[in-house]
Structure 1
Amino acid sequence: MKETSVLGRLGAFWGVAGVALLLADALVRLFVHARDAFESDLSPLQWAALAVWVALMTYVEGWRGFHLRFSPRVVARALTIASPAQGRGVRLVDVVLAPVFCMSLYGASRRGVRAAWILLAFIVAFILIVRTLPAPWRGIVDAGVVAGIGTGLCSLLYYATRAVLGRPPVIDPDCG
């Protein structure tokens, strides 16, 4: 493993912790609406929609999106803060903005940054659309998102723990 500085390790920790806090905050906020769906009198069609949506979001968002792509990349990018490229020291801006850096919103390849910002715009648009849904459909949608984000948060903590134990993720941190 490359040499790391205290500032670099702090930046890596802040990067992963900051992203984890963002996910946990979203999880808590959405859980309220998801719980409303379970507490309402759902029809058989709505129960079926809930089951399919939760399963789909757990797989697509949680497994494919978070576990296979986002979470290992966040941890890999955090490790680049801790151990920057040869001849380059830890940059204070990367430490301060570590969660943003780890989400590839800057400091990645042009393609990676563009993909991260497009994904962020899509998420914001999705949130704005879901907010307009009537009950219980908003709760049904939010239940699936909670399942996906919950899987993602667990995945992020899994990859972070493995990295601390000396088994970092094998993924390009540059989103190439």
Structure 2
Amino acid sequence: MQVEAYSGQVDIPSRAANVAPIMRSPREKLIAAWGIAWVSMLLGRAIWSLTPWAIEPWTEGLMTTGQQGLYIGWLVANAYLEGYRGFQLRFSPRVVSRAVYLGQNPRPLWVVLALPFCMSLFHSTRRQMTVSWGFIGALVLVIWWVRTLPQPWRGIIDGGVVLGLLWGLGVIWWLFARYLAGAQAPPPNDLPLEKAAEGEPVPG
């Protein structure tokens, strides 16, 4: 299923816009950081576990020249498809915007479940929750399949995945660092429609 690109625009740093940085309470920033930390740990764990498999074809000399070219081509393709289109345009901005929203609107259950909240697994539009849960299900199947592959094929696939995950994690922290520095963070565009009646942003 094709996911719509994130429609919110992250404002340029306030210094460049000649506007004073937005002052935020320590509690808001701490709760937002809590959500970001959970997502970062999830991505970081995947990077940590996949990296040895990704580099083994190179360190052990397991690839032919053609397979090396395929590995590099897969890295380039995954950098664009997973890193740029999947993470930079969609997942990473949505995670940061929902983490900031969590800090601004903390509820005990949401804070406890910060990881699934920031990943739009609940309190989101039906469309986005369907996409998010469907993606997780597909990811589990892909992980199971990749683990059955011998080297160097597993390493080739894992190499592209690791690059995409690193890209996504870097974008998350770049956007969150700008938020901490005072830049305006866009509101989530996937909140349930009924929240509009309470004065909260209507999803785009």
Normalised by the length of structure 2, the TM-score is 0.77
Which residue type is aligned with residue 112 of structure 2? V
Report matched runs for 1:55-66 at 5 Å.
55-66=76-87
- How far 1:109 sits from its partner (Å)? 0.9
**2:148 matched to which residue of 1?**
132
**1:87 matched to which residue of 2?**
none
* 1:71 paired to 2:92: yes
**1:109 matched to which residue of 2?**
125
Unaligned runs of 5+ in 1: 85-89
Change over 3 Å in CA distance of 1:171–1:42 after alignment to 2:
farther
* 1:167 paired to 2:175: no
Query: What is the alpha-carbon root mean square deviation over aligned residues?
Result: 1.9
Percent identical across equivalent pairs? 38
Q: Distance in 1 between matches of 2:49 and 2:153?
A: 16
Is contact 2:82–2:164 with CA below 8 Å preserved after alignment? yes
More helix by share: 1
- How far 1:169 sits from its partner (Å)? 4.3
Q: Which runs of 4+ in 1 moved over 4 A?
A: 1-5
User: Which residue of 92, 103, 113 corresponds with 1:97?
Assistant: 113
Q: Distance in 2 between matches of 1:107 and 1:9?
A: 21
Q: Distance in 2 between matches of 1:166 and 1:174?
A: 23
- Cα deviation 1:130-149 (Å, max 9, x = unaligned): 11111110001101101110
Q: Distance in 2 between matches of 1:78 and 1:143?
A: 29
Which residue type is aligned with residue 109 of structure 1? T
* 1:16 paired to 2:1: no
* 1:122 paired to 2:138: yes
**1:150 matched to which residue of 2?**
166
User: Which residue of 81, 84, 105 corresponds with 2:102?
Assistant: 81
Q: Distance in 2 between matches of 1:101 and 1:20?
A: 14
- How far 1:167 sits from its partner (Å)? 2.0
Which residue type is aligned with residue 15 of structure 1? G
User: Tell me, what secondary structure is at the counterpart of 1:167?
Assistant: coil
* CA radius of gyration, larger in: 2
**2:12 matched to which residue of 1?**
none
Normalised by the length of structure 1, the TM-score is 0.89
* 1:54 paired to 2:82: no
- Cα deviation 1:54-88 (Å, max 9, x = unaligned): 1111111111111111011001001111112xxxx
Q: Distance in 1 between matches of 2:93 and 2:45?
A: 20
* 1:30 paired to 2:50: yes
